[in-house]
Structure 1
């Protein structure tokens, strides 16, 4: 059997996540193509057409999570590749709400399978650096959104080419990650390596701490992705090119995640989450009262807040609840994406019938709740650490 090339697998994983992230940015740009001034869909209809990206992602993660242990990481990764390819082709051919809905569903399934397979693979390859390496892996989510945002701007706004060309650019990282994974040996998941039984894994999923983290994941993901996925509509009255604000936000996020190791060392996962919730709340409120150049300042505060949400939530579960295995990480990611599928139509309805400012103010309630929850989490974790030291 071939030796596991962790470096090549990690880079290939980053390319797969790059495809996932670019679909988010390109989908945000497609809102103007299929919206009221384009094909003619309302913003609420656009919200429904985009929801399969999130509940399809959720479905893929919930199904893919347990299958990662039984079928192996390799098979789930190739399912992701096939779903991505179908979704990209179907998006290029989309002409109405139904075809856009189905195309988005396949893209969502591909994205979900990427997370279902590769989060546990990275946790398995770097058992002593889980939160750090998951943050480094997830650099490519904001990094990919930056690239996708710039591709959309350059292809459509600068070069004046069709939106189909913008979508077709996704084939480049798709082919790269397919070639890099081809013929490689993949590690076993950590749960399989540790010999944790299915019954023990299932019982671990019922622990109050895990359930608490799932609830928090609903709120953290909606705060981040619910906002950024509707950026075109939310900020069209504030700035000339909202997609550049999206690139700016995700550029900050990529830098933050690249240097997450230092932050993890200083704050620990629970502290990072509280820090994130505070800045996300402030950033969302500032976005409701700023325009022009100051929108970028408000966006910077928001970006600092959401930078560590997703990977640190996964890292926390991988570090403190390892018995939940790949399924635990998949449930976390699935919960996050499911929440966004609920939020998108609600935001669209608010923007159709009220205003973008009202939608942002409503979204700010979520990190406000998280501040309270993460204060409690920090108190709980400090008590647990003290208890562990006393027993040692």
Structure 2
């Protein structure tokens, strides 16, 4: 039975604003990552480590939040997110090097995870009659914020406005969502409202279908988030407007998630996931094997592919495994972000290895990175980057190929599972 939620539209708007801050942090960081490397003399492995911090701060918060949200309530959890967002943003603005960037990014990652830990079950609770669609509408603000963030970076760069101001702009929506959540009344989570015991919830987490979805979440999250976060670094020397590739990709995601209702109802969540995997693989192939305008075609196709991954994975679990409750949703989010953090750190080191392998034998990568613009060494490094970036994308391409096979199997399994009920 659906709870009567008197303020559900206000709660949904405040949730979208909180997610907007989360996504702005991704979009702005993706846009300024290479500049942070130059200003603070950081190599790709260090940049990968800093960027990854947000991704493992996220699962830490989302998993812990998932376990305590039913106990302390969604409102308290979101006020904790507000504090961490504010602290993380301020620390980033006044960063002085690797460790301050590391700690500030960790704070923002914890805030981002806490937002998801509270808002995913909140949206599933207040729209329990239309979960997958409304989770897609909620998660529309993730690519939406990345579009806004990357465009802000692009425009403010042209105006010669520093990255500290760009990061500082996130304070505005942070203060607004903190104020709104402090004034609104929250319902209990759907699991609590339905009277499903904590013991039954933990038993449901051992369901083989749930365990499979956790594993598949590793792949969907890496495909979407690693590529998005590193696209400027990987393709900067292939295209003069690499950050606009991310804007195109995420712009497509905004439109797609906004149109989620007819798509999800027509094809079913598992059908949508299969189509997403196929398009993601095609898009990554184009990004890794193209130059010029075809890169923008690749970003368009890739955006169509990853568009429904995250919210539809959550919607599938919420609809087909409702007894897993808030913990189930948040374990999914935590698993995805943890996988991205591990993959990002590994690929940061791999990228440095590829660069070194493409430079003259015995050359020091650091000496090439320190070379002045226009010198022969700087030109050689640019050519190495031009070759290394697409190789990283081609390695990542294997993941959506595997996902295509897995989601085809899931589609067949769910059809067979539902056949007896139709007979």
TM-score bracket relative to the smaller structure = over 0.9
Give, in angstroms, the shift of residue 53 of structure 1: 0.4
Give, in angstroms, the shift of residue 180 of structure 1: 2.0
Counterparts of 1:184 and 1:25 in 2: how far apart (Å)?
29
Q: Deviations over 1:260-288 (max 9, x none)?
A: 00100111000000000000001101111
Query: What SS is found at the alignment partner of 1:41?
Result: coil
Q: Deviations over 1:262-320 (max 9, x none)?
A: 10011100000000000000110111111122211111011110000000000000000
- CA contact 1:4–1:187 (8 Å) conserved in 2: no
TM-score (norm 2): 0.90
Counterparts of 1:310 and 1:268 in 2: how far apart (Å)?
15
Counterparts of 2:422 and 2:200 in 1: how far apart (Å)?
26
The 10-residue stretch of structure 1 (210-219 or 43-52) with the greater mean CA deviation from structure 2 = 43-52
The answer to whether the aligner puts 1:7 opposite 2:9 as a matched pair is yes
- CA contact 2:5–2:187 (8 Å) conserved in 1: no
Superposed, 1:1-392 pairs within 5 Å as 4-35=6-37, 37-155=38-156, 157-354=157-354, 355-390=388-423
Give, in angstroms, the shift of residue 19 of structure 1: 0.2
Counterparts of 1:350 and 1:300 in 2: how far apart (Å)?
27
Counterparts of 1:271 and 1:44 in 2: how far apart (Å)?
37
Is the alpha carbon distance of 1:30 and 1:95 closer, same or farther for their aligned partners in structure 2, counting shifts above 3 Å?
farther
Q: Deviations over 1:37-91 (max 9, x none)?
A: 3321111111111222011100101100021111111011101111101110111
Query: What SS is found at the alignment partner of 1:187?
Result: coil
Query: What SS is found at the alignment partner of 2:50?
Result: helix
Counterparts of 1:219 and 1:17 in 2: how far apart (Å)?
22
Query: What SS is found at the alignment partner of 1:4?
Result: coil
Counterparts of 1:206 and 1:251 in 2: how far apart (Å)?
37
Counterparts of 1:145 and 1:320 in 2: how far apart (Å)?
30
Structure showing greater Rg: 2
Query: What SS is found at the alignment partner of 1:95?
Result: coil
Counterparts of 2:154 and 2:172 in 1: how far apart (Å)?
18
- CA contact 2:32–2:153 (8 Å) conserved in 1: no
- CA contact 1:238–1:295 (8 Å) conserved in 2: no
Counterparts of 1:320 and 1:132 in 2: how far apart (Å)?
14
Q: Deviations over 1:185-205 (max 9, x none)?
A: 011100000111111000000
The 10-residue stretch of structure 1 (230-239 or 310-319) with the greater mean CA deviation from structure 2 = 230-239
Give, in angstroms, the shift of residue 182 of structure 1: 2.5
Runs of 4+ with >3 A deviation: none
Counterparts of 2:167 and 2:31 in 1: how far apart (Å)?
10
Counterparts of 1:128 and 1:227 in 2: how far apart (Å)?
33
The 10-residue stretch of structure 1 (263-272 or 177-186) with the greater mean CA deviation from structure 2 = 177-186
Give, in angstroms, the shift of residue 350 of structure 1: 2.8
Counterparts of 2:107 and 2:238 in 1: how far apart (Å)?
33
Q: What count of residue pairs does the alignment treat as equivalent? A: 387
- CA contact 1:4–1:184 (8 Å) conserved in 2: no
Q: What residue number does 2:371 align with? A: none
Counterparts of 1:74 and 1:18 in 2: how far apart (Å)?
18
Q: What residue number does 2:375 align with? A: none
Counterparts of 1:315 and 1:173 in 2: how far apart (Å)?
26
- CA contact 1:87–1:104 (8 Å) conserved in 2: yes
Give 5+ residue unaligned stretches, structure 1. none
Counterparts of 2:340 and 2:81 in 1: how far apart (Å)?
20
